[in-house]
Structure 1
Amino acid sequence: MVACGGIAVETIVIYPNVFHDVPGSLAGASKFFEVTGPADLFPPLGAATVALSTVTLVLVWHVRAARWWIAASLATLVFGEFLFSVLYFWPRNEIMFDEGMAEHSAEVLRRTAVEFETGHWGRLAASAATATLAFLGFLRYHRWFHRTTGPDAGSVGVARDA
């Protein structure tokens, strides 16, 4: 859920400034992100998120009501965010920020920037789906936990695992 907020800020606040006047704005963005930037935050945050999501899935596996929500969250994280980033965004980052005007025309850089920004809305949607699925999984787990440990836990009609 935290990563979704970071991706929202990136999509809504940072990237419109980075891509407002390509190729000139790319040079300014590169200068601005000289010390630290999204590439310094998101890879370790993404790796930690995948690791913690996997641990969470293992820990809640015995709770059927939460299991598939958490599994779906992990799947959208891995396929909708990580693989999408590797296959779609990383090559475009290389074109815009590593190779730049030395290897590409201004038109190629502009087109790549438009593709990047457009694709980022898809990344934001995938991140929102991941966060929503995780939230629903935790909500299901929370309800299950209180049904099985609350004052009515031993009562007739109260499910131990749902």
Structure 2
Amino acid sequence: MSRTRWITVVLIALVWASMMSFGGVAAETVMLYPNIFGDAPASLDRAREFLIAGGPSDYFPPLGATVVLTCLVATALTWREPRLRWWIVAAAAVFIGCEFLFSALFFWPRNEIMFVDPVGTHSPEYLRQVAQEFVTGHWVRLAGGAVTSALAFTALLRWVGRAARAGTDRRERTETGGALL
């Protein structure tokens, strides 16, 4: 497979993975969060019972790893394309900052408090406070996912536009016997 085709495939994979991640976070926001955080601590107890077979912690880590991996591969493949690589580097930086680092530093400790610590460990007032902090901080993650997806999609559009222009230039040179018009 040619380098151009590899770049195209990897950029499509990056856009797909970043949009799946953003879409998952957006869906959580409107479908799960009102039920999970709407009436803490009772809603947290219901969420513990509901999210036994699977939940966001089963979905997002592998998807996040896919976004990071495709960002790394896309960066390596497009490093010689300065007009493209910075879009990908920016997408990677935003995703790693907003989705991974912010999650590890902000969300994971709150998840422990709300969903791992034994019921009754924390006061209802404290659980309400932690739940509100979680919901408020969630907007950073949602915005980061949107920005990551937009940056990755912009990189793909720039790449496809460049490839289309290159194809048009080649056809024109072929049709004119190699002379540039």
Tell me whether the two structures share a fold, i.e. TM-score over 0.5: yes
- Per-residue CA deviation, residues 42-97 of structure 1 (Å, 9 max, x unaligned), is 11111111111111111122222211101100110111211000000000000100
1:37 deviation in Å?
A: 0.5
Which of 151, 156, 159 aligns to 2:168? It is 151
Q: Structure 1: which 4+ aligned runs deviate by more than 3 Å?
A: 153-157
Which of 39, 61, 64 aligns to 1:21? It is 39
Structure 2: gaps spanning 5 or more residues: 1-18, 174-178
Any residues of structure 2 matched to 1:88-127 within 5 Å, and which? 88-99=106-117, 101-127=119-145
The alignment status of 1:8 with 2:26, answered yes or no, reads: yes
Amino acid at match of 1:151: T
Q: Distance in 1 between matches of 2:108 and 2:76?
A: 30
Deviates further, 121-130 or 96-105: 96-105
The alignment status of 1:36 with 2:54, answered yes or no, reads: yes
What is aligned with 1:66?
84
Higher Cα radius of gyration = 2
Amino acid at match of 1:152: D
SS in structure 2 at match of 1:152: helix
Equivalenced residues, count: 156
1:101 deviation in Å?
A: 3.6
Q: Is the 8 A contact 1:70 1:137 kept in 2?
A: yes
Amino acid at match of 2:49: K
Any residues of structure 2 matched to 1:127-138 within 5 Å, and which? 127-138=145-156
Structure 1: gaps spanning 5 or more residues: 158-162
